[in-house]
Structure 1
């Protein structure tokens, strides 16, 4: 296992030093540098469209289920949850592609969920059951801060594109909930806490990921409303992120323990490294992207990429590989553009070869059982969120920016 991992590390970092990178056994060197092909991108959008139309059609508000096949689907049971985070990404991918009609319909479904929430304070929930919508059957009642910010960012993107006031109003309701329920200016480092649990109790930890999301979302609101208060709040969220960067390694820590102060150092995930760079545009996080390449490189099922965290690098996390490809485009250092294309090509390879695939959707992981380090496993089931991230990276669209 150790020798295998060292080989992969050498493979990914070799691009940055200009040396030749070997391709997977079944790929030619020229094909591996092609990036996301038009056929792969078209197929990925077809997958999102088919998931959206599974439980409705035309202009009916509806939700796509997040996972298809494999672990999440048996002859007698289907996992039908639609995660709000995934839905936000699907909206952004459609907008990047110019499919405003579908994006608006899905955005209206999330507005409906927000308006009809049983508590009714502006929150949205982690997931809803796609097969019963518009009956509001909540799958996971938790209201995590990051999820609120992602839905808010989707509303902000929709308002920026359509100028329909309802989307700005929905975004402001999400933002007000975040500010009122999660801001912690008492326990340093100051920032936004984790939101509310399924039984509506406060999460007292502060997550770096959530603060990245909030900082990006509030920056969008500052642009859309012209109100300085949102920029001030965005800077506060990003200051927490900066406080979480390790001075020696350059990586970003997960956040704090529930005491809101003690740094949580286990595990170290991929997303906060690349998202910090994408959301802030700050060169200090160039090192965080390098840390991902050096420490989270993975090879499995004839696919190269990065894993979820340093807990388990035996399998490829396809969504995180798309994060990394997009962050490399943003960093644009020596060899970054080439490595980004190679990572996108590998995602396309997983699209074509995953054991539970349809040749269109992107699997969550290269094979079943990827341990996140946070008590969850990822499977080789097709995933709307991973597919949307792939499309955003293939189109060069940064979801953290309007």
Structure 2
């Protein structure tokens, strides 16, 4: 997995528990829901797209360049827009390619291309981990960010949060989104942007160590290479390079994809029926020639199947080993009200054992918490495998959480007289923007929990979780072209 300094998931701050209402599948589909895995999810899926629209339009409407804010205003991440989350939003929009959804996907894609051309330091077409989606004043009185474009015209990557590095997984997902846009529109600029990102990965991340593959990327200084390899990242790269081979006709991309595929083969644990997380190297004393045996994460198992279509036993391992049910009033440290429960899977095997404080949170780990994004990964993998009945069960649980959790959270401009910027209420500012549409976004977690990788997830509406839900509900595989 990613180093804490590069993880697209770290510093996901806590928010208050929301009021809960029960969810019941209505049995009513929207007019455009013929492609749904379960027709009863029509209204839920429409509301999820409404959430993506709201966060993309939180600071600007029309055709202007912009990104979607990854979490609600109250999350503590201010206007952070992770490139991973925005890449997922592009693919989710294109999973139901109406004219309006394609238009919105192109806005994000065009913003990615602008970012590639407007880095403050580098001209190699890279993207950083995260950018400002809207106006914000960082903790302690600064710095201030007006939005994705700084006052000097450069891309506003969020270095104060430590989001200035470029993780291979983030770069690959951005390129996957651009390649998907090319597949839909046949506009060459999107393929060119994806190829540039692919070349950046090859130029900066080929591993010299025992298991090969592609390293984790570069640290926040933009030049220091990570020494570890992530199975997750190599899955992303494998799928991207296979796509680039298809669209460019250049066979070199197939050879480059095999580098990632060979690494994944080396990370397979046949006795355990799962993939290891990757190799060591995050700490100076680590040997990057050794496999990292713990934690064992969910995403590697399901993503590997989505990308390669083999070793389906890892999907079964996920469903069995990481299964969890968060029961309000019963589960220790649950944030759900008594009488309400939701089921799915958690982030890793370690998430089910830790008992201490959740990183960046205010309480202790809930070992029964459901990670909704990961539950959507599992549903998508089951759909890809043909197990639609099982997938529907997980999708129904996510829809339940969508309806029950996250009420009252906001996004977009605040009442701050200086351009509606977000700033810390503890320092005289405000989080509060416009209330998100009811029962629309999917929260990251049913209750706060520790991933085991040095960061936590919380009950905040999340672009990534919502986008994965949409892809799974629409039977879309983001790795296959």
TM-score, reference length from structure 1: 0.87
In the TM superposition, what are the counterparts of 1:253-332 in structure 2 within 5 Å? 253-258=276-281, 259-282=287-310, 285-300=311-326, 301=336, 302-313=341-352, 314-332=368-386
SS of the residue 1:266 aligns to: coil
Of structures 1 and 2, the one scoring higher in RCO (CA 8 A, sep 6+) is: 2
CA distance in 2, matches of 1:256, 1:266: 10
CA distance in 2, matches of 1:294, 1:133: 42
In the TM superposition, what are the counterparts of 1:57-72 in structure 2 within 5 Å? 57-68=61-72, 70-72=74-76
CA distance in 2, matches of 1:166, 1:197: 28
Cross-structure match for 1:343: 394
Contact 2:210 2:289 in 1 (8 A): yes
CA distance in 2, matches of 1:194, 1:155: 21
In the TM superposition, what are the counterparts of 1:62-101 in structure 2 within 5 Å? 62-68=66-72, 70-72=74-76, 79-98=78-97, 99-101=101-103
SS of the residue 1:392 aligns to: helix
Cross-structure match for 1:191: 213
SS of the residue 2:228 aligns to: strand
State the superposition RMSD in angstroms.
1.9
- CA drift of 1:188 comes to 1.8
Alignment partner of 1:130 is 2:129: no
CA deviation vs aligned residue, 1:180-224 (integer Å, no higher than 9, x gap)? 10012x322110000001122110101000100000000000000
CA distance in 1, matches of 2:479, 2:53: 23
Contact 1:36 1:345 in 2 (8 A): no
- CA drift of 1:329 comes to 1.2
In the TM superposition, what are the counterparts of 1:146-161 in structure 2 within 5 Å? 146-161=169-184
Contact 2:242 2:253 in 1 (8 A): yes
Structure 1: runs of 5 or more not aligned? 1-25, 73-77
Alignment partner of 1:381 is 2:460: yes
SS of the residue 1:399 aligns to: coil
SS of the residue 1:82 aligns to: strand
Select which of 436, 439, 450 maps to 1:359: 439
Contact 1:36 1:341 in 2 (8 A): no
CA distance in 2, matches of 1:365, 1:35: 25
The alpha-carbon distance between structure 1 residues 315 and 113, as it changes in their structure 2 partners (threshold 3 A), is same
- CA drift of 1:355 comes to 4.3
CA deviation vs aligned residue, 1:153-198 (integer Å, no higher than 9, x gap)? 01100111111111111111100100010012x3221100000011
CA distance in 2, matches of 1:106, 1:202: 28
Structure 2: runs of 5 or more not aligned? 1-21, 28-36, 135-146, 282-286, 327-335, 353-367, 410-437
Contact 1:125 1:141 in 2 (8 A): yes
The alpha-carbon distance between structure 1 residues 167 and 308, as it changes in their structure 2 partners (threshold 3 A), is same
Cross-structure match for 2:476: 397
Alignment partner of 1:39 is 2:67: no
Alignment partner of 1:50 is 2:54: yes
May I ask how many residue pairs the two structures share in their alignment? 365
CA distance in 1, matches of 2:442, 2:54: 13
User: After the TM superposition, which segments of 4 or more aligned residues of structure 1 sit over 4 Å from their partners?
Assistant: 26-31, 33-36
CA distance in 2, matches of 1:29, 1:154: 31
CA distance in 2, matches of 1:350, 1:100: 27
- CA drift of 1:339 comes to 1.4
Alignment partner of 1:370 is 2:449: yes
CA distance in 2, matches of 1:156, 1:120: 21
CA distance in 2, matches of 1:344, 1:60: 33
- CA drift of 1:293 comes to 1.0
Contact 2:23 2:399 in 1 (8 A): no
CA distance in 2, matches of 1:100, 1:330: 23
- CA drift of 1:71 comes to 3.5
Between structures 1 and 2, the one with greater helix share:
1
- CA drift of 1:337 comes to 1.9
Contact 1:218 1:231 in 2 (8 A): yes
Contact 1:61 1:134 in 2 (8 A): no
- CA drift of 1:69 comes to 5.1
